Amino acid sequence: MSSRVLRKLKISILRASKLRLGTFLVKKVNKRKEVYNLHYPNDLQNLRRKLLPGDVLLVEGDYGVSDWIKVYSSHTWSHCALFVGDQSRAAATKPKEFVEDHPSLVEAIMGRGVILGNLHKYEGCNLRICRPRNLTRLQRDTVIHWVLDKIGVSYDLENVLQFMSLPFEEQLVPPTHDIGELSTGKYTCSSLLAAAFGQVGLEVLHYYDRAATKVVPYHYSQVQPKDFDLSPNFDIIKIHPAAYRKPGGFLRNLLNRQKTA
């Protein structure tokens, strides 16, 4: 059997495997994990006070598919969403199937597409806030308006499948290459946010190209949730767990703020 025939056979097997894997993943999306290791209980009121429109919320998901994503990304965070503040007015102009109650997040969800999401559903998950650095209010608004325009577009499942198959590829895929179906207007949670910040010139992550001796940004389609955590262009905002909040009232809180100022 010629090498050309073997190559075609390999491609056919990979495509068939991706199709079966894709069907399996979509089914896993709607299955919550029986055991989830929540490090600290979340105080949603405190979280809302911390969040600013344009912040990225990282989530360690509590669905079965989250474990798959954590394996191929080699990191804790399996999902990311953009906090956009109260969007009750915008929700009225969007198709109902893409809007949750009391929406304040824009996120790309496997099996659903880009939606206006509710913060409350992540109350039982491990979370982290990543705040973009050195953006003006106008730039933040530009990012938010851009993602709001994407409500209803399809999820880029092919991107996830290609990420999972990268370790088995014969040739290394450069970080600057497009993978998945972003070019056709489909997004994953992280490629959506990476493209949004790209509208104002804020790249999420770079790598050092030794051949060209320069730093090059990752293609939006190759950005993963963990990259917002690793990025020097985003600050990590600490979330104080509800169980660790000390009583004391207004005066104690005021004194604590003065000490840390």
pLDDT in tens, 72-85: 555 579 899 999 99
Q: In total, how many domains does the chain have?
A: 1
Confidence check: pLDDT of 106 > 70: yes
Q: Are 140 and 56 in contact (CB under 8 A)?
A: no
Residue 72's domain spans which residues? 3-260
Q: Which two tokens stand for residue 249?
A: 């009232």
> For residue 205, what is the domain's CATH number?
3.90.1720.10
pLDDT of residue 172: 77
Confidence check: pLDDT of 19 > 80: no
pLDDT of residue 18: 52
pTM of the prediction?
0.79
Q: pLDDT tens for residues 130-141?
A: 999 999 999 999
Q: Are 80 and 55 in contact (CB under 8 A)?
A: no
Q: Are 80 and 58 in contact (CB under 8 A)?
A: yes
pLDDT of residue 208: 87
Q: Which two tokens stand for residue 215?
A: 């730093």
